[in-house]
Structure 1
Amino acid sequence: MVKMIDLQSVQGTMLIPLWGRASGSEKNPEILDDKEAINIIKGCDFDFADIAKTFGEYGGITYIVRARKIDDTIRNFITKHPRATIVNIGSGLDTTFSRIDNGTINWYNLDLPDAITFRKTLIADSPRNVSIAKSFFDISWFDDIKFNKDDGILFVSAGVFYYFQESQLKEMFSAMAQRFPGGELYFDAESKFALGLSNRTVKKSGNKGAIMYFYVNNPKSMEKWSPKIKVLSCESFFKGIPTKKQWESSTRVMVRIVDLIKMLKFVHLRFEDR
């Protein structure tokens, strides 16, 4: 089943965070316990050795930390809005719903048609966990979302916006702010310096179809994209995640450096209702 996807594509990167969450969870369940990812990996007829060799321990840890931060953000949101709509942009093989579902939220997985086809071979939809097979830039997906303003809506995106041009995101964020007033968006981003390093890693992995473009040095600049966009927070990537003595020394050093020079961060936006 896994062999259906083109590894020389952005969709091909779906396998990397899946591996990262599974391998990272097995060794660091106190950070993230992603049982579904672990089970999927065990059931896959695919050799993840090359991915493991390329991304290593540090790579696996970045994926579970990213998932943990997104989990925490969603849990905080649905504590206030128990019937919220959650839209996972560029969902890939994400398994967040299985970890945070409160029994009343409505969840949407948005990704390209071939990615959703691939996803469904491994993760089935359910009545409140529905896939939308469309491009993020095809705004017709707005009409596929069950949205009650009073119940709240949160958009999350993990490792996706890197692949787009800033001009594309500016147009989409502005359109989302107009259509979903009061909504929020939470995503990860790299600095310009970190983006260059990531592209070197991507080329090393052999995936020439997944070069990255978008970076965030100053998130406040996004408020200029639309009067409806407000930055709620920008947090360093590993904030609140204690390093472990069992980690390799190179991993512990990278964790410190990444936060020290702000290579990776999480940006939280709100679409103002005005």
Structure 2
Amino acid sequence: MSLPKHPAPLTGVSETALMTLNSRAAEARRPDRILDDPMAIRLVDSIDFDFTKFGRTGQATALRGLAFDTHTRDYLQQHPSATVVALAEGLETSFWRLNATVVDAEFRWLTIDLPPVIHLRSQLLPSSPRIAMRAQSVLDYSWMDQIDPDAGVFITAEGLLMHLEPERALNLIAESARRFPGGQLLFDLPPARAAKSSRRRGLRISRRYRAPALPFGASPSQLATWLTSMTGVSSIHNLRFPRGRSRTLNAVLALNHRLGGRLGTSLTLVEFGRASSTSDG
């Protein structure tokens, strides 16, 4: 007998958490998967929702998750007791993927998201003494007061900044740099042209689903211009996405990186310190 499923009454930007969850779970079910994510499969199977409304899935979301895992793990190898702050985490399952691959894991995890998402996570995901959650906007900076920065802080903004107004997104980065010296922030962002197109034409994902328009987009070079002037930002890295299954996809990803993110989403790592410099990675 199958267990009863849990409703997921998410709307607006929060509903995109269901879309990205579905993409990761679909990828994790493949025998040639690029992301091992059993918790995503478990979540999809426990939610009462018609995921077919999102249409076909691809590799992009899984590649993004793999990239975030890789760079979070790199930081944790140097700061094993650090706090990972997952801003607007949605229904991401990064904690369990990292916990399974980091040797003698002792890092702590703080999820920040709106109340409906936090309620759903608390109902469906396993608890851990190393996980804390706060039901609030990421722009309410009181969450920063809950973190001891001495052991290190790694902040993820996966699929977040493009949903904020530019000034608010940049202020979030600036305040993080001010509060967490020695920490890092990882985020993804579409080019300005793609964000503008979403506002003009809408972001049609499938015949049955249109995602919210994106207020913010920028290239890595634009970001570097803005971020290098921020107090506390020591370096900015335009990172490469991992390789996927398709030669065509890999060629497009490589070309996008060479062209400075003009073709698609870019991945940026910001280090917080005292000096100011930029580099590509």
Band the TM-score falls in, shorter-chain normalisation: 0.7 to 0.9
Distance in 2 separating the partners of 1:63 and 1:107: 21
Q: Which of 9, 14, 21 lines up with 1:5 in the alignment?
A: 9
Q: Please state which structure has a larger fraction of its residues in helix.
A: 1
Following superposition of structure 1 onto structure 2, how do residues 1-274 of structure 1 map, counting pairs within 5 Å?
Answer: 3-7=7-11, 9-27=12-30, 29-51=32-54, 53=55, 56-57=56-57, 60-101=58-99, 102=102, 103-145=105-147, 147-149=148-150, 151-196=151-196, 200=201, 202-203=203-204, 210-217=212-219, 218=221, 219-237=223-241, 240-244=242-246, 258-259=256-257, 261=259, 262=261, 263-273=264-274
Report SS of the residue matched to 2:36: coil
CA contact (8 A) 1:125 1:131 kept: no
Can you give the 5+ residue segments of structure 2 that lack an aligned partner in the other structure? 276-281
**Compared CA separation, residues 29 and 93, structure 1 to 2 (3 A):** farther
Q: Deviation of residue 71 (structure 1)?
A: 0.5
CA contact (8 A) 2:6 2:46 kept: no
Distance in 2 separating the partners of 1:133 and 1:225: 31
Q: Deviation of residue 19 (structure 1)?
A: 0.3
CA contact (8 A) 2:189 2:265 kept: yes
CA contact (8 A) 1:222 1:229 kept: no
Report SS of the residue matched to 1:230: strand
**Compared CA separation, residues 236 and 215, structure 1 to 2 (3 A):** farther
- CA deviation digits over 1:134-165, x for unaligned, max 9? 111111111122x242x211001111110111
Normalization by structure 2: what TM-score?
0.82
- CA deviation digits over 1:87-121, x for unaligned, max 9? 00111111000011242001111111222112222
Overall identity of the aligned pairs, in % = 25
- CA deviation digits over 1:151-208, x for unaligned, max 9? 2110011111101111112222221111111110011111112324555563455667
Normalization by structure 1: what TM-score?
0.84
Amino acid in the other structure paired with 2:243: I
Q: Deviation of residue 223 (structure 1)?
A: 2.2
The count of aligned residue pairs is 260
Distance in 2 separating the partners of 1:115 and 1:6: 7
**Compared CA separation, residues 225 and 208, structure 1 to 2 (3 A):** farther
Can you give the 5+ residue segments of structure 1 that lack an aligned partner in the other structure? none
Report SS of the residue matched to 1:187: strand
Q: Which is further off, 65-74 or 25-34?
A: 25-34
Pairwise CA RMSD: 2.5
Report SS of the residue matched to 1:19: helix
CA contact (8 A) 2:69 2:98 kept: yes
**Compared CA separation, residues 253 and 233, structure 1 to 2 (3 A):** closer
